[in-house]
Structure 1
Amino acid sequence: MTSCGGGGNTPKAVAEKAVKCLQDKDYDKFADLVYMKVKEGEDPEAGKKMLSGMMQGKADKMYEKKGGIKSYEALSEQIDESGESAVVKMKIMYGDGSDKEDDIKLKKDEQGNWKIDMGK
């Protein structure tokens, strides 16, 4: 398993890092992996802190019911023709024996780094 902070800049690597951060309950590092559009005069760190706190509240409750994240696996990576967005299909196995397949959407930020796209 990779650490929450390491890995490359591919959609698959970023999606795996994000799930690893959730598994480790490292919501600050998870927030670093999320695409955030920062408006003029806004503090990007404030937005990350807010997201981290929100994720902690929601994720802790959800994963606690399922016995935590036991393991995960990237099943596929699909990058669109523009090369600017992608979808990674992840399989997440929980401590209670259940599992779930999830599509994680990603997009490139202004620096060309892949980030989790939580936009609707």
Structure 2
Amino acid sequence: MTIVMRDYPPMAQDFMNREHEDFANLLNAAEQALLMGEAALPHLNLLYDHCVKHFAHEEEEMQRYHFPPYPVHKAEHERVLGMFRDQLANFEATGDVSPVLEFLLETVPDWFGQHLRSMDRVTSQFLFQQKGDAA
């Protein structure tokens, strides 16, 4: 399932919108590589690395502005990174495309939409109230 960012509500923080757009592009590229039988591991690693950096950026902002539900949001990031690591490890060990493709086509887009509409929306609004729409 290709992610198109215009299908999702924008966040009140520009940095989140930019990083979410990058995520969507990397996810779509990884999906295409898998579907076309291309070398997908570099795409998957780029996607994972982006998630690590993006989550760290969000968490840094949440800590800087003392976002009360920070521990819950961070725990969700950790859970998702764990799922990514498991998928990468399985794909590297077996070369089986099916589980990682299902993960990218179904699990990740479902999670992404829910996460944007709930945790990220609340976080971005809180940050906006604290600091404005800063990058």
Query: TM-score, normalization: structure 1?
Result: 0.35
Larger of the two Rg values belongs to structure: 2
More strand by share: 1
Q: Which has the higher contact order (CA 8 A, sep 6+)?
A: 2
Query: TM-score, normalization: structure 2?
Result: 0.32
